Amino acid sequence: MQPKDLLQLADEFGCPLYVYDASKIEAQYKRLTEAFSKVGELRIHYAVKALSNVSILKLLKNLGSRLDTVSIQEVQLGLYAGFPADKIIYTPNGVSFEEIEMAAKLGVQINIDNLSVLEHFGAKHPKVPVCIRINPHVMAGGNSNISVGHIDSKFGISIHQMPHILRIVENTGMHINGIHMHTGSDILDVEVFLYAAEILFEAAIHFKELDFLDFGSGFKVPYKKDDIETNVEEFGKKLSKRFNEFCKEYGRPLALAFEPGKFLVSEAGYFLTKVNVVKQTTSTVFAGVDSGFNHLIRPMLYGSQHSIENISNPKGKERFYTVVGYICETDTFANNRRIAEIHEGDVLAFRNAGAYCFSMSSNYNSRFKPAEVLWKDGKGILIRERETFEDLLRNQVEVEM
Protein backbone atom coordinates (compact mmCIF):
# COMPACT_ATOMS: atom_id res chain seq x y z
CA MET A 1 0.00 0.00 0.00
CA GLN A 2 1.13 3.53 -0.70
CA PRO A 3 1.29 6.26 1.98
CA LYS A 4 -1.31 8.22 0.05
CA ASP A 5 -3.77 5.28 0.17
CA LEU A 6 -3.29 5.05 3.94
CA LEU A 7 -3.73 8.79 4.34
CA GLN A 8 -6.95 8.66 2.37
CA LEU A 9 -8.26 5.88 4.64
CA ALA A 10 -7.30 7.87 7.75
CA ASP A 11 -9.33 10.74 6.31
CA GLU A 12 -12.28 8.60 5.38
CA PHE A 13 -12.55 6.44 8.52
CA GLY A 14 -10.73 8.51 11.15
CA CYS A 15 -7.93 7.56 13.55
CA PRO A 16 -6.94 5.40 15.29
CA LEU A 17 -7.54 2.85 12.56
CA TYR A 18 -6.35 -0.63 11.63
CA VAL A 19 -5.93 -1.28 7.91
CA TYR A 20 -5.25 -4.68 6.33
CA ASP A 21 -4.01 -5.13 2.78
CA ALA A 22 -5.82 -8.16 1.31
CA SER A 23 -3.29 -8.59 -1.50
CA LYS A 24 -0.42 -8.98 1.00
CA ILE A 25 -2.28 -11.76 2.84
CA GLU A 26 -2.91 -13.47 -0.50
CA ALA A 27 0.74 -13.10 -1.52
CA GLN A 28 2.01 -14.61 1.74
CA TYR A 29 -0.43 -17.50 1.47
CA LYS A 30 0.72 -18.16 -2.07
CA ARG A 31 4.39 -17.93 -1.08
CA LEU A 32 3.93 -20.63 1.53
CA THR A 33 1.95 -22.98 -0.71
CA GLU A 34 4.48 -22.60 -3.51
CA ALA A 35 7.40 -23.31 -1.16
CA PHE A 36 5.75 -26.64 -0.34
CA SER A 37 4.41 -27.50 -3.78
CA LYS A 38 6.37 -30.77 -3.78
CA VAL A 39 4.41 -32.12 -0.83
CA GLY A 40 1.39 -34.27 -1.71
CA GLU A 41 -1.02 -32.60 0.68
CA LEU A 42 -0.22 -29.32 2.37
CA ARG A 43 -2.63 -27.99 4.99
CA ILE A 44 -2.35 -24.38 6.09
CA HIS A 45 -4.22 -23.65 9.29
CA TYR A 46 -4.36 -19.91 9.83
CA ALA A 47 -3.88 -19.13 13.56
CA VAL A 48 -7.04 -17.22 14.44
CA LYS A 49 -5.56 -15.54 17.49
CA ALA A 50 -3.28 -13.38 15.36
CA LEU A 51 -6.19 -11.46 13.84
CA SER A 52 -9.68 -12.78 14.34
CA ASN A 53 -11.92 -10.46 12.34
CA VAL A 54 -14.55 -12.61 10.61
CA SER A 55 -13.93 -10.92 7.24
CA ILE A 56 -10.25 -11.81 7.48
CA LEU A 57 -11.22 -15.40 8.29
CA LYS A 58 -13.49 -15.47 5.22
CA LEU A 59 -10.72 -14.05 3.04
CA LEU A 60 -8.42 -16.86 4.20
CA LYS A 61 -11.15 -19.43 3.67
CA ASN A 62 -11.46 -18.31 0.06
CA LEU A 63 -7.72 -18.84 -0.34
CA GLY A 64 -8.13 -22.45 0.77
CA SER A 65 -6.88 -22.02 4.32
CA ARG A 66 -7.96 -24.03 7.32
CA LEU A 67 -7.91 -22.73 10.89
CA ASP A 68 -5.88 -23.17 14.03
CA THR A 69 -7.82 -22.27 17.17
CA VAL A 70 -6.89 -22.09 20.84
CA SER A 71 -10.28 -21.52 22.48
CA ILE A 72 -13.84 -22.72 22.00
CA GLN A 73 -14.76 -19.15 21.07
CA GLU A 74 -12.23 -19.18 18.24
CA VAL A 75 -13.76 -22.47 17.09
CA GLN A 76 -17.18 -20.83 17.12
CA LEU A 77 -15.86 -17.82 15.19
CA GLY A 78 -14.39 -20.15 12.58
CA LEU A 79 -17.64 -22.05 12.19
CA TYR A 80 -19.49 -18.74 12.00
CA ALA A 81 -17.13 -17.60 9.22
CA GLY A 82 -18.11 -20.73 7.27
CA PHE A 83 -15.22 -23.10 7.88
CA PRO A 84 -16.34 -26.74 8.03
CA ALA A 85 -15.58 -28.27 11.43
CA ASP A 86 -13.13 -30.76 9.93
CA LYS A 87 -10.99 -27.90 8.61
CA ILE A 88 -10.44 -26.57 12.12
CA ILE A 89 -7.79 -27.78 14.54
CA TYR A 90 -8.24 -26.94 18.20
CA THR A 91 -5.00 -26.68 20.21
CA PRO A 92 -5.88 -25.52 23.68
CA ASN A 93 -3.57 -25.25 26.66
CA GLY A 94 -4.86 -25.42 30.19
CA VAL A 95 -8.56 -25.30 29.33
CA SER A 96 -11.28 -27.26 31.11
CA PHE A 97 -12.05 -30.83 30.07
CA GLU A 98 -15.62 -29.74 29.32
CA GLU A 99 -14.34 -27.24 26.76
CA ILE A 100 -12.37 -29.96 24.98
CA GLU A 101 -15.45 -32.18 24.92
CA MET A 102 -17.49 -29.31 23.54
CA ALA A 103 -15.00 -28.83 20.70
CA ALA A 104 -15.01 -32.57 19.98
CA LYS A 105 -18.79 -32.49 19.82
CA LEU A 106 -18.62 -29.70 17.24
CA GLY A 107 -16.49 -32.03 15.13
CA VAL A 108 -13.20 -30.14 15.08
CA GLN A 109 -9.81 -31.83 15.22
CA ILE A 110 -8.71 -32.07 18.85
CA ASN A 111 -5.06 -31.58 19.72
CA ILE A 112 -4.11 -32.63 23.26
CA ASP A 113 -1.02 -31.38 25.09
CA ASN A 114 -1.29 -32.96 28.51
CA LEU A 115 -0.97 -36.59 29.62
CA SER A 116 -3.78 -36.49 32.17
CA VAL A 117 -6.16 -34.99 29.62
CA LEU A 118 -5.09 -37.56 27.03
CA GLU A 119 -5.81 -40.39 29.43
CA HIS A 120 -9.16 -38.99 30.53
CA PHE A 121 -10.25 -38.15 26.98
CA GLY A 122 -9.10 -41.49 25.58
CA ALA A 123 -10.97 -43.39 28.27
CA LYS A 124 -14.17 -41.44 27.74
CA HIS A 125 -14.13 -40.94 23.95
CA PRO A 126 -11.94 -43.69 22.45
CA LYS A 127 -13.58 -43.26 19.03
CA VAL A 128 -12.75 -39.56 18.61
CA PRO A 129 -9.49 -39.14 16.65
CA VAL A 130 -6.95 -37.06 18.53
CA CYS A 131 -3.73 -35.28 17.61
CA ILE A 132 -0.95 -35.14 20.20
CA ARG A 133 1.10 -32.03 20.83
CA ILE A 134 4.71 -32.96 21.49
CA ASN A 135 7.29 -30.74 23.11
CA PRO A 136 10.54 -31.56 21.29
CA HIS A 137 12.54 -29.29 23.64
CA VAL A 138 14.08 -27.28 20.87
CA MET A 139 14.61 -23.58 21.36
CA ALA A 140 13.66 -22.03 18.09
CA GLY A 141 13.54 -18.39 19.07
CA GLY A 142 15.84 -16.08 20.94
CA ASN A 143 13.24 -14.50 23.22
CA SER A 144 12.20 -16.77 26.09
CA ASN A 145 8.71 -15.23 26.08
CA ILE A 146 7.98 -16.69 22.71
CA SER A 147 9.90 -19.95 22.68
CA VAL A 148 7.61 -22.70 23.78
CA GLY A 149 9.67 -25.80 23.19
CA HIS A 150 12.09 -25.62 26.11
CA ILE A 151 12.18 -28.06 28.98
CA ASP A 152 10.00 -26.21 31.48
CA SER A 153 7.47 -24.97 28.98
CA LYS A 154 3.81 -25.40 29.86
CA PHE A 155 3.09 -26.40 26.26
CA GLY A 156 3.05 -29.89 24.83
CA ILE A 157 3.83 -33.34 26.18
CA SER A 158 7.54 -33.92 26.60
CA ILE A 159 9.08 -36.15 23.97
CA HIS A 160 10.73 -37.96 26.89
CA GLN A 161 7.28 -39.08 28.02
CA MET A 162 6.68 -41.05 24.82
CA PRO A 163 6.51 -44.41 26.67
CA HIS A 164 3.73 -43.02 28.84
CA ILE A 165 1.86 -41.65 25.81
CA LEU A 166 2.07 -45.03 24.12
CA ARG A 167 0.82 -46.80 27.19
CA ILE A 168 -2.21 -44.49 27.43
CA VAL A 169 -2.99 -45.00 23.75
CA GLU A 170 -2.76 -48.75 24.13
CA ASN A 171 -4.81 -48.86 27.32
CA THR A 172 -7.62 -46.73 25.96
CA GLY A 173 -7.58 -47.94 22.36
CA MET A 174 -7.81 -44.33 21.22
CA HIS A 175 -7.10 -43.28 17.64
CA ILE A 176 -4.16 -40.91 17.20
CA ASN A 177 -4.44 -39.30 13.77
CA GLY A 178 -1.88 -36.49 14.04
CA ILE A 179 1.34 -35.43 15.74
CA HIS A 180 1.95 -31.76 16.38
CA MET A 181 4.62 -29.40 17.59
CA HIS A 182 4.81 -25.63 17.84
CA THR A 183 8.25 -24.75 19.01
CA GLY A 184 8.05 -21.00 19.26
CA SER A 185 7.43 -17.89 17.33
CA ASP A 186 10.68 -17.46 15.44
CA ILE A 187 12.28 -19.87 12.99
CA LEU A 188 15.54 -17.98 12.80
CA ASP A 189 17.48 -20.94 11.67
CA VAL A 190 16.09 -23.47 9.20
CA GLU A 191 18.52 -26.13 10.46
CA VAL A 192 17.20 -25.82 14.01
CA PHE A 193 13.68 -26.33 12.73
CA LEU A 194 14.69 -29.34 10.67
CA TYR A 195 16.31 -30.80 13.77
CA ALA A 196 13.01 -30.41 15.64
CA ALA A 197 11.25 -32.00 12.66
CA GLU A 198 13.42 -35.11 13.06
CA ILE A 199 12.19 -35.43 16.62
CA LEU A 200 8.61 -35.21 15.38
CA PHE A 201 9.30 -37.94 12.79
CA GLU A 202 10.75 -40.20 15.47
CA ALA A 203 7.62 -39.69 17.54
CA ALA A 204 5.32 -40.23 14.55
CA ILE A 205 6.71 -43.62 13.64
CA HIS A 206 5.10 -45.08 16.78
CA PHE A 207 1.58 -44.37 15.54
CA LYS A 208 0.11 -46.43 12.73
CA GLU A 209 -3.08 -44.49 11.96
CA LEU A 210 -1.78 -40.98 11.31
CA ASP A 211 -3.30 -38.64 8.73
CA PHE A 212 -1.07 -35.63 9.23
CA LEU A 213 2.01 -34.14 10.86
CA ASP A 214 1.59 -30.59 12.09
CA PHE A 215 4.73 -28.48 12.37
CA GLY A 216 3.01 -25.53 14.05
CA SER A 217 4.44 -22.18 13.20
CA GLY A 218 7.35 -19.89 13.94
CA PHE A 219 7.78 -18.16 10.61
CA LYS A 220 9.60 -14.93 11.25
CA VAL A 221 8.73 -11.80 9.32
CA PRO A 222 10.86 -8.66 9.16
CA TYR A 223 9.77 -5.79 11.43
CA LYS A 224 12.57 -3.35 10.92
CA LYS A 225 15.02 -2.80 8.10
CA ASP A 226 17.72 -5.50 7.93
CA ASP A 227 15.69 -7.87 10.14
CA ILE A 228 16.29 -11.49 9.26
CA GLU A 229 13.22 -13.37 8.14
CA THR A 230 12.56 -17.06 7.66
CA ASN A 231 13.76 -18.10 4.24
CA VAL A 232 10.49 -19.81 3.39
CA GLU A 233 11.65 -20.99 -0.02
CA GLU A 234 14.77 -22.71 1.34
CA PHE A 235 12.81 -24.06 4.28
CA GLY A 236 10.10 -25.40 1.95
CA LYS A 237 12.61 -27.14 -0.27
CA LYS A 238 14.47 -28.82 2.59
CA LEU A 239 11.52 -29.82 4.74
CA SER A 240 9.47 -31.05 1.75
CA LYS A 241 12.28 -33.33 0.66
CA ARG A 242 12.74 -34.75 4.13
CA PHE A 243 8.98 -35.03 4.68
CA ASN A 244 8.51 -37.00 1.47
CA GLU A 245 11.31 -39.34 2.51
CA PHE A 246 9.66 -39.80 5.86
CA CYS A 247 6.33 -40.71 4.24
CA LYS A 248 8.15 -43.50 2.39
CA GLU A 249 9.60 -44.75 5.68
CA TYR A 250 6.18 -44.49 7.24
CA GLY A 251 4.64 -46.50 4.44
CA ARG A 252 2.04 -44.11 3.07
CA PRO A 253 1.57 -40.41 2.31
CA LEU A 254 0.63 -38.06 5.13
CA ALA A 255 -0.51 -34.45 5.02
CA LEU A 256 1.93 -31.77 6.14
CA ALA A 257 0.32 -29.04 8.22
CA PHE A 258 1.39 -25.58 9.38
CA GLU A 259 -0.31 -23.02 11.59
CA PRO A 260 1.00 -19.61 10.57
CA GLY A 261 -0.47 -16.50 12.13
CA LYS A 262 2.11 -13.77 11.95
CA PHE A 263 3.48 -14.90 8.58
CA LEU A 264 0.11 -14.51 6.87
CA VAL A 265 -1.15 -11.26 8.36
CA SER A 266 1.59 -9.27 10.14
CA GLU A 267 2.93 -7.33 7.19
CA ALA A 268 -0.53 -6.81 5.73
CA GLY A 269 -1.48 -4.60 8.68
CA TYR A 270 -1.03 -0.87 9.30
CA PHE A 271 -2.07 1.00 12.39
CA LEU A 272 -2.88 4.65 11.73
CA THR A 273 -2.74 7.16 14.56
CA LYS A 274 -3.00 10.93 14.70
CA VAL A 275 -0.44 13.04 16.51
CA ASN A 276 -2.17 14.99 19.28
CA VAL A 277 0.86 16.70 20.71
CA VAL A 278 4.52 17.33 20.02
CA LYS A 279 6.40 18.00 23.22
CA GLN A 280 10.00 19.07 23.61
CA THR A 281 11.73 18.15 26.84
CA THR A 282 15.29 18.70 27.90
CA SER A 283 16.38 15.42 26.33
CA THR A 284 13.97 14.41 23.57
CA VAL A 285 11.03 15.30 21.39
CA PHE A 286 7.86 13.37 22.19
CA ALA A 287 5.22 12.73 19.57
CA GLY A 288 2.03 11.82 21.44
CA VAL A 289 -0.55 9.93 19.39
CA ASP A 290 -4.26 9.23 19.88
CA SER A 291 -3.67 5.65 21.01
CA GLY A 292 -1.68 3.63 23.51
CA PHE A 293 -1.10 0.10 24.70
CA ASN A 294 -4.87 -0.27 24.83
CA HIS A 295 -4.72 -0.60 21.03
CA LEU A 296 -1.20 -1.84 20.34
CA ILE A 297 0.59 -3.52 23.22
CA ARG A 298 3.34 -5.45 21.47
CA PRO A 299 6.05 -2.77 21.82
CA MET A 300 5.48 -2.58 25.59
CA LEU A 301 4.85 -6.31 26.13
CA TYR A 302 7.50 -7.84 23.89
CA GLY A 303 9.72 -4.92 22.96
CA SER A 304 8.60 -5.31 19.34
CA GLN A 305 9.90 -2.67 16.99
CA HIS A 306 7.13 -1.62 14.67
CA SER A 307 8.49 0.78 12.10
CA ILE A 308 6.69 4.12 12.08
CA GLU A 309 6.22 6.41 9.12
CA ASN A 310 4.86 9.94 9.03
CA ILE A 311 2.51 9.54 6.08
CA SER A 312 1.41 13.19 6.29
CA ASN A 313 4.95 14.34 5.60
CA PRO A 314 6.73 11.40 3.99
CA LYS A 315 9.40 13.56 2.35
CA GLY A 316 10.07 15.69 5.43
CA LYS A 317 13.49 16.05 7.01
CA GLU A 318 14.11 13.22 9.46
CA ARG A 319 14.41 13.93 13.18
CA PHE A 320 14.60 11.76 16.29
CA TYR A 321 11.37 11.18 18.20
CA THR A 322 10.04 9.25 21.12
CA VAL A 323 6.57 8.12 20.08
CA VAL A 324 4.20 7.71 23.02
CA GLY A 325 0.50 7.13 23.61
CA TYR A 326 -2.20 8.95 25.56
CA ILE A 327 -2.66 6.31 28.29
CA CYS A 328 -1.99 7.50 31.82
CA GLU A 329 0.93 5.14 32.20
CA THR A 330 4.21 4.74 30.42
CA ASP A 331 3.26 3.63 26.94
CA THR A 332 6.24 4.15 24.68
CA PHE A 333 5.78 2.86 21.15
CA ALA A 334 9.26 3.81 19.99
CA ASN A 335 12.31 5.36 21.54
CA ASN A 336 14.67 7.71 19.76
CA ARG A 337 13.28 6.79 16.34
CA ARG A 338 14.15 8.59 13.10
CA ILE A 339 10.91 9.81 11.53
CA ALA A 340 10.15 12.49 8.94
CA GLU A 341 9.44 15.77 10.76
CA ILE A 342 6.23 15.52 12.77
CA HIS A 343 3.63 18.26 13.26
CA GLU A 344 0.56 18.08 15.44
CA GLY A 345 -2.27 16.59 13.37
CA ASP A 346 0.02 14.39 11.26
CA VAL A 347 -0.89 10.74 10.74
CA LEU A 348 1.69 8.12 11.77
CA ALA A 349 1.49 4.64 10.24
CA PHE A 350 2.80 1.70 12.27
CA ARG A 351 3.83 -1.28 10.18
CA ASN A 352 3.45 -5.00 10.91
CA ALA A 353 0.16 -4.22 12.61
CA GLY A 354 -1.73 -7.24 11.30
CA ALA A 355 -0.77 -9.89 13.84
CA TYR A 356 -1.40 -9.69 17.60
CA CYS A 357 -2.35 -6.03 17.44
CA PHE A 358 -6.11 -5.53 17.26
CA SER A 359 -6.62 -9.00 18.72
CA MET A 360 -4.75 -7.95 21.89
CA SER A 361 -6.49 -4.59 22.22
CA SER A 362 -8.50 -3.54 25.28
CA ASN A 363 -10.67 -0.74 26.61
CA TYR A 364 -8.14 0.44 29.18
CA ASN A 365 -8.70 4.10 30.13
CA SER A 366 -12.28 3.58 28.85
CA ARG A 367 -11.19 4.19 25.29
CA PHE A 368 -13.01 2.73 22.31
CA LYS A 369 -11.36 -0.02 20.29
CA PRO A 370 -10.40 1.21 16.81
CA ALA A 371 -12.22 0.50 13.57
CA GLU A 372 -10.77 -2.03 11.10
CA VAL A 373 -10.66 -1.60 7.33
CA LEU A 374 -9.78 -4.11 4.63
CA TRP A 375 -7.98 -2.64 1.61
CA LYS A 376 -9.07 -4.66 -1.39
CA ASP A 377 -8.96 -3.86 -5.12
CA GLY A 378 -8.03 -0.25 -4.41
CA LYS A 379 -10.87 0.37 -1.97
CA GLY A 380 -11.23 0.51 1.79
CA ILE A 381 -13.98 -1.73 3.17
CA LEU A 382 -15.06 -1.22 6.78
CA ILE A 383 -14.88 -4.62 8.52
CA ARG A 384 -15.31 -3.43 12.11
CA GLU A 385 -16.91 -0.26 13.33
CA ARG A 386 -15.20 1.89 15.89
CA GLU A 387 -16.70 1.28 19.31
CA THR A 388 -19.09 3.74 20.88
CA PHE A 389 -20.07 4.71 24.40
CA GLU A 390 -22.73 1.97 24.43
CA ASP A 391 -19.99 -0.64 24.01
CA LEU A 392 -18.34 0.59 27.20
CA LEU A 393 -21.58 0.14 29.12
CA ARG A 394 -22.52 -3.21 27.60
CA ASN A 395 -22.83 -5.93 30.26
CA GLN A 396 -22.47 -3.46 33.08
CA VAL A 397 -25.30 -3.85 35.55
CA GLU A 398 -26.38 -0.55 36.96
CA VAL A 399 -27.53 -0.69 40.54
CA GLU A 400 -28.89 2.13 42.66
CA MET A 401 -26.26 3.35 45.10
Ligand X SMILES: *Cc1c(COP(=O)(O)O)cnc(C)c1O
Whether 329 has a binding-site annotation, put simply, is: yes
Taking CA atoms, 159 is separated from 115, 138, 179, 200, 361, in Å, by: 12, 11, 11, 9, 35
Residue of 15, 131, 328, 357 marked active site: 328
131 is catalytic: no
Q: Site for ligand X (CB under 6 A): which residue of 60, 355, 373, 383? A: 355
182 is a site residue for ligand X (CB under 6 A): yes
| Strand, helix or coil for residue 321 | strand
Q: Site for ligand X (CB under 6 A): which residue of 70, 75, 131, 256? A: 70
Q: Rank residues 32 and 373 by Cβ distance to ligand X and give the closer one.
A: 32
Shortest reach from residue 40's CB to ligand X, in Å: 22
How much is the CA Rg of the chain, to the nearest whole Å?
A: 23
Helices (H), 273-350: 298-302
Q: Site for ligand X (CB under 6 A): which residue of 31, 49, 58, 238? A: 49
Q: Site for ligand X (CB under 6 A): which residue of 68, 119, 331, 346? A: 68
Contact status, residue 93 vs residue 113, Cβ threshold 8 Å: yes
- The end-to-end CA distance of the chain, in Å, is 52
Whether 298 has a binding-site annotation, put simply, is: yes
Q: How many CB atoms lie within 10 A of CB 80?
A: 11
Element (H, E) at 374: strand 371-376
Residue with the shortest CB distance to ligand X: 261
Give the footprint of ligand X on residues 113-172 (CB under 6 A). none
Helix 115-124 crosses helix 97-106 at what angle (to 10 degrees)? 50
Q: Rank residues 13 and 36 by Cβ distance to ligand X and give the closer one.
A: 36
Q: Rank residues 6 and 232 by Cβ distance to ligand X and give the closer one.
A: 232
Taking CA atoms, 160 is separated from 134, 157, 171, 212, 308, in Å, by: 10, 8, 19, 21, 45
47 is a site residue for ligand X (CB under 6 A): yes
Contact stretch for ligand X (CB under 6 A) within 166-174, 197-205, 215-223, 313-321: 215-223
Nearest to 51 by CA among 93, 27, 22: 22
In angstroms, the CA 327 to CA 347 distance is: 18
Contact stretch for ligand X (CB under 6 A) within 28-36, 253-261, 327-335, 368-376: 253-261
Binding site for ligand X (CB under 6 A): 47, 49-50, 68, 70, 91, 182, 185, 216-219, 259-263, 355
The catalytic site residues sit at 328
Annotated binding site for pyridoxal 5'-phosphate: 218, 356
Q: Binding site membership for substrate: which residues?
A: 298, 302, 329, 356
